[in-house]
Structure 1
Amino acid sequence: MADAVEEVLQSSWGEDLAEALDSVGGDQDAEKDGIIQVQNLPPPQRAKLWMIALNVAGKGDSLSSWDGALDLPEQTLIHNRSQQLIDQLGLPAEEGRDLVGDVEAVITFYCKSRNVTFTAELCWPNLLKPLLGLQLARSDLYNCFYAIMNKYIPRDCVAKGRPFHLYRLLLQYHEPELCSFLDTKKITPDSYAMNWLGSLFSSHCLPEVTQALWHIYFQQADPFLIFFLMLIILVNAKDMILSQEGDSKEELISELMV
C-alpha cells in the first residue's frame, strides 16, 4: 500500500484509485491474462465474473415473492431518482423506460424486504449505475445490488456513524498533521466522504471507470479496502488542503467532495 500511495501522489484522484487497486492485485503480468482483465470483456461475461465474485451466481429470483406494488410513501422520490439516474446515461427512450422500471423495482423491493426508508441522501441509485451496463436480468440486478449492500456498504453509513469514526482513526494514525488540521476546522469525515463510502465511488466516476475499479475490488473481496482508498484520496490532496488554511469550513468541504 505504501507504493500505491507514492504512485497516487502524481495523478488525479480517479486515476489514484485505479492505480492503488492495481497495486493491491499482485502480479500485473498474471493479471493481464486473468479474470481481472475486464476492459475487453463483453457485458455477459463480465456479469458472470461479478456474480461469481459476489457469490450470487445461480441464486434464485428474490423478487418472485413480491407482488410488484410500487406503493411506498417515498415512491415518488424513488421514481424520480431512478429517472435521474437513467437520464444521466443518455439511453434511447424505450431502453431508458425499461431500466427506470428495473432501478425503481430493485430499490422498492429492497426497502420493503429490509424495512428501511429511502431518503434523498442515500447513494443507492449510484450503486446500480455500474451494474446496469452488464445487461443483467432484473432478478440478477437485485441479487448483485443486495450483495454489494450487504458486504461492502457499512450498515452505519450515516452522519457521525462508526465507519467514519474508524476512518478518522486511520487518518489520525497515518496522517496526524492532516487529521489535526481537519479537526481544527471541525471537518468530520462524514461531511465529505459520505458519498465515497456509500456509493463505492460510483457517485464520482463514470460507469466504465467504476466498473474497472469494482472488478478488482470485488476480486480482493475485502470490505475494509474502501477505507484505505479514501485515505489515499486525502494523502493525494494533503498539500492542497493544508495550503487553504484561510478558507472556510464550507469551502474546504466543497473542495474535498469534488
Structure 2
Amino acid sequence: MEDRIQRWQKLLIINKHQVTNLETSFDLPEQHIIKVDCERTRGGMLLPEEQNTLELMLTHFCKDKGITYKQGLNEICAPFILMIREGLPKISAYHLFRQFVEINLTTMFSDNEFRPLQAFFLILRLVLRYHEPRLSAFFQMNRISPELFSSSWFITAFAFKLDNLEVLYELWEEMLRESDPLFLVYISVAFLQHVTNLIIDKEDYLVAQAISQLGFDSIEELHMILPKARYIKKNMPYSIFVRLVNFNIYNLDTINSSIKALENEFCLTVPPQEVMIRAFPESKICMCKFKKCAWCAKRLKDLPLIILDCRQGKEQEFGVFPNTSLIDPNIYKNVQAILDFPDQFAEIRGIFHFCLMGSKEFNKGTFDINETISSDTNKTMMVIDNLLQAFLVKGFPYVSLVEGGFERCHDFALNFDLALDNHQPEFCLLCTPNGKKIKSLLKEKLRYLNCRGNKANSPKFERTRSSSVEPHQIYEIDDVDTGFYKCRLYDKHTKSLSNESYDIAINKMFFTVGIVRNYGGESKNIIYHGRLEKLYKIQNKNKEQRIVGFYFSDHPRSLFFQFETHTDARTCMGQATKYCKMLNN
C-alpha cells in the first residue's frame, strides 16, 4: 500500500497550496443525505469513525468546490478513507480524493443535470456499435440503453461495482496512467465483451438487470479486461480517437452542443483528414512545419481502412479520390444488392475497417432496412443508411462514416492543392455550385462539342474582349421563341455598370447580347453571340440579386449583367436552363 500511495501522489501531482484544515460545520442543505450515504457506503465496511471522516471530507469538498452534494461522491471518496488505515494522513487522503475527481471526473459532480454523464452514454453507444455490432444490435432490439446499466460505472468509476479494493485500486491507477477522460468508456466496452455470454441468454426483460448485477472482483479478471480496453482504444482510426476527445464532455460551456452532436451520430465518424491521409499518403495534409504534429506522427501507424465512395455514378464522374473504392452502381437499383454488399468482405471482417462516404453530411439513420428506394428522397443518403444497417446486421465491426461526405473532403483537398482523379472543375457541382442546374444537363453535350470542335451554323462575327471596345457585328434575330431582357454589363472586379443598356436574347439555339430588334430597322451592336450549348454555368449568389453571370466555353471571360428587375433575372435564368434541357434531350 505504501508503494501505491507514493505512486499515486506522483500521478496526481498534489498542489502545494491545497487546504491544510478539513474542519467544517455539517450544515449543508443536503447534509442528511450525506450522512445516510456515508453509513451505507461500501456495504458497511467503514467503521463509525471512518464514516464521520467520510462525511467531513464530502462536506468540505462540496463547500470547497461550491457544488451541491450528489450521490456517487461517497463511493469515490471511501477508498481514499480506507487508505488512512495504511498510515496515509487524513489531509493527504482528502488531497488524493479531490485531485482524483479533478482529473478523472472533472465536472461530473459540478453539473446538477449530470450532462457529462449523458455524453458518456452517447459515446458508449457509438463505441460499442463500432467494436461490438452484434451486442449493440442485441441491446437495440431489446430496447436496452446505456442509462439502464452503466450509470454507476461512470459516476463512481466502477467503485460501486467492485467490492475488492485491490482490484479497484489497480483499475484506478491504470486510469491515472492513461490520462484519458474517455478511458472509462473503453473499460465499459471491454467489460461488456467479457460478460457477453452471461447476458445474451437472459430473458429480454432481465438483461439490463443482469448487466447491472455483474462485476469483476478478481485481479485475474481485471487483467483480462484492461488489455481489451487498451486494444479497443487503439483499434480505431486515430482521427476517431481525436474526434471523441474533442467533444470535451467535461466542458460545461460546450456540453450542450456536444450532446446534440452526439445524439445526431448514427455511428462513429472520421473527419476529412483521415480520407486525405489514405488518398494522398505522400502528401502533407496539416499546417505544421516540422512533421511533429499528431497527424504526421500517426499517419504511418494507422489501421487498414477501406473508404467506400457511395455516391451515385453520375456524381462520381465529377471526380474521385485516389485509393478509395467506388461502389457498384447496381446497388442503387434494388435493396437486395445492398443487403448482399457486405458479403464480398466476409474474409476480412474484423480485420479491415470500413468507412462510407456519401455526397454530403449524413443525417441520422433509421433502424430499418428501407425496402424501396424512392426517387423523391436523397438516394445516396438512403443507400448509405441501408448499407450501415446491412453491415450492422451481418456483424461487421469497425464501420464508420466520413464527416461531411465527399463535399467536405473535396473542399479540404482543394485547400491543400491535392488533385482528385478525373476532376473537371468546370463541370464539378462543388466547384461551381451556382451552375448546377445546367452543368449536369450540358456536361456530355459540351464534352462532345469541344472534342469535335463543331462550329457549324455559327454566324460569322467578331466578338470584342471588353465592353470598352466598340462592338460592330450586325446580326438579325427574328425567332418567335426568343426572349428579350434589358440589362447593363457589370464588371465584377470594379463593381461598376456600363453606361449603355443592352438586350439579352435567348432562343432554343443561340445566346446573344447586344442592341437587338425583332424586325428590321437600324443596325444592332452585338457583344456576344454563340450557340447555347457553349453555356456551362450560370451564377447568381443571391436569388434576390439582379446580377447574374454567364460562363461560355468559347469565351475567355465570364459575362455578368445587371437586369432591370429581380423577376427578369430569374426568368432569364429559367429560360436558359429550359432550353439547355431541351438541347440535352
1:73 deviation in Å? 1.1
Residue 181 of structure 2 is aligned to residue 232 of structure 1: no
8 Å Cα contact 1:192/1:253 also seen in 2? yes
8 Å Cα contact 1:129/1:202 also seen in 2? no
1:154 deviation in Å? 5.8
The 2-side partners of 1:69 and 1:48 are apart by 31
Q: Deviations over 1:138-182 (max 9, x none)?
A: 322222112221221263583871111111110011111211221
Q: Deviations over 1:42-70 (max 9, x none)?
A: x34322221111111x6344254x76111
The 1-side partners of 2:204 and 2:145 are apart by 16
Distance 1:218-1:77 versus aligned 2 partners, 3 A rule: same
The 1-side partners of 2:151 and 2:106 are apart by 11
- The equivalent residue for 1:124 is 73
8 Å Cα contact 2:79/2:165 also seen in 1? yes
The 2-side partners of 1:162 and 1:83 are apart by 31
- The equivalent residue for 2:166 is 208
Going by fraction, where is helix more abundant, 1 or 2? 1
Q: How many residues align?
A: 204
TM-score (structure 2 length as normaliser): 0.33
8 Å Cα contact 2:125/2:136 also seen in 1? yes
Alignment counterpart, residue 149 of structure 2, candidates 156, 176, 192: 192
Q: Deviations over 1:47-98 (max 9, x none)?
A: 2221111111x6344254x76111011101111211223762264xxxx41x
- The equivalent residue for 2:57 is 106
The 2-side partners of 1:163 and 1:154 are apart by 13
- Higher relative contact order by CA 8 Å / sep ≥ 6: 1 or 2? 1
- The equivalent residue for 1:256 is 211
Alignment counterpart, residue 139 of structure 2, candidates 182, 207, 210: 182
The 2-side partners of 1:156 and 1:61 are apart by 21
Q: Which runs of 5+ in 2 are unaligned?
A: 214-585
- Equivalent runs, 1:49-128 vs 2, <5 Å: 49-56=7-14, 59-62=16-19, 64=21, 68-85=24-41, 88-89=44-45, 91=47, 96-97=48-49, 99-119=50-70, 122-128=71-77
TM-align CA RMSD: 2.4
The 2-side partners of 1:153 and 1:69 are apart by 26
The 1-side partners of 2:188 and 2:42 are apart by 27
Going by fraction, where is strand more abundant, 1 or 2? 2
Q: Deviations over 1:100-156 (max 9, x none)?
A: 22211221122223232224xx21111123222322333222221122212212635
8 Å Cα contact 2:104/2:176 also seen in 1? no
How many percent identity over aligned positions?
21
The 1-side partners of 2:181 and 2:120 are apart by 12
The 2-side partners of 1:129 and 1:89 are apart by 10
8 Å Cα contact 1:70/1:108 also seen in 2? yes
Residue 119 of structure 2 is aligned to residue 162 of structure 1: yes
Letter in 1 for 2:13: N
Mean CA deviation greater in 143-152 or 212-221: 212-221
Letter in 2 for 1:74: E
The 1-side partners of 2:198 and 2:3 are apart by 41
Q: Which runs of 5+ in 1 are unaligned?
A: 1-42
Divergent runs of 4+, >4 A: none
The structure having more radius of gyration, on CA atoms, is: 2
SS in 1 for 2:26: coil
The 2-side partners of 1:70 and 1:139 are apart by 18
The 1-side partners of 2:179 and 2:131 are apart by 23
The 1-side partners of 2:3 and 2:97 are apart by 18
Alignment counterpart, residue 199 of structure 2, candidates 236, 241, 245: 241
TM-score (structure 1 length as normaliser): 0.70
Letter in 2 for 1:200: A
Distance 1:107-1:90 versus aligned 2 partners, 3 A rule: closer
- The equivalent residue for 1:153 is 105
The 1-side partners of 2:139 and 2:43 are apart by 36
1:247 deviation in Å? 2.4
Distance 1:156-1:145 versus aligned 2 partners, 3 A rule: closer
- The equivalent residue for 1:138 is 90
8 Å Cα contact 1:61/1:139 also seen in 2? no
